[in-house]
Amino acid sequence: MNNTQTRKIAIFATLAALMAATREYHFGTALHLPDASLAVFLLAGFYLPRWAFPVLLVEAGLVDYLALNYGGVDGWCFSPAYWFLIPTYFVLWFAGRFYAERYRPTLRGLSEFAAIAFAATGAAFLISNASFYLFADYFGSMSAAAYSGRVAQYFLPYLQSAFLYLIPAAMLHMVAQQATRSSAQAR
């Protein structure tokens, strides 16, 4: 196995473990980190081959199944809208792929990453919340405007949950890039 394959397997294992460890708590609590799934899918899109997307989707579904059936998690969020997590996570995955094709190890490249991550996380928020409104059958008498006003309060925590993981990941990436450059120059 070459160094690139080993690195990709290590990244996959790290992202899968992070998602499994945090998925139960959407925004986190004083004792638990928030769900890393948004960041995991974006980072997987950047670092990993295409096979990782469906594997991570299966993992997310399995973790949710176990949490619902054996972990005592309330099933209120599990509705026909749950299937819209697939396009929600695909937006993040695609954003990671999109950025990987444009990646430059510069300050401008980091700014582009932040903008793409913000846009993708915002789109994910819209997809997941609009589908929940449309397909969960909980909001029959509530207008779309009233629902939007009610869920808008969750947008900032949604962004914060993703960026809590994306910022350290970007910093770690920059440190690793610098170490690789320093090592190459020393040869």
Domain carrying residue 160: 3-186
d(CA 143, CA 141): 7
The alpha carbon dihedral of 163, 99, 15, 86 has a sign of positive
pLDDT above 70 for 26 = no
Number of structural domains in the chain: 1
- Rounded to an integer, the average pLDDT of 28-51 is 86
pLDDT at 125: 95
What are 97-118's pLDDT values in tens digits? 999 999 988 889 999 999 999 9
- DSSP 3-state of 31: coil
Alpha helices per DSSP H over 23-106: 37-47, 52-69, 85-102
Name the CA radius of gyration of the chain, rounded. Answer: 18
d(CA 55, CA 47): 14
Compute CA 187 distance to the chain's CA centroid, rounded to the nearest angstrom: 37
Does residue 38 have a pLDDT over 50?
Answer: yes
Mean pLDDT of 129-133: 88
Supply the pTM of this predicted model.
0.91
Residue range 133-153: mean pLDDT, rounded: 82
Percent of the chain with pLDDT over 90: 57
* Whole-number pLDDT of residue 31: 53
CA atoms of 138 and 160, how far apart (whole Å):
26
